[in-house]
Amino acid sequence: VCSFLNEDNTTLVWDSEQQVPFAYRDDQWVGFDDERSLINK
């Protein structure tokens, strides 16, 4: 996840409905937990 987030053209988004972050680049995407989403769980 960290290397994916550090690549150029990667967009990080907060999903307010699910209360989790996800990132995408071109046709690839990844969902994950971070400190904020874990606190919300």
- 34 is written with which tokens? 């971070």
Domain that holds residue 8: 2-40
Task: Write down the pLDDT at residue 1.
Answer: 93
Task: Write down the pLDDT at residue 15.
Answer: 97
Domain count within the chain? 1
pTM for this entry: 0.82
Q: Which residues of the chain have pLDDT under 50?
A: none
Task: Write down the pLDDT at residue 19.
Answer: 96
Largest Cα span, the chain: 30
Task: Write down the pLDDT at residue 11.
Answer: 98
Task: Write down the pLDDT at residue 34.
Answer: 96
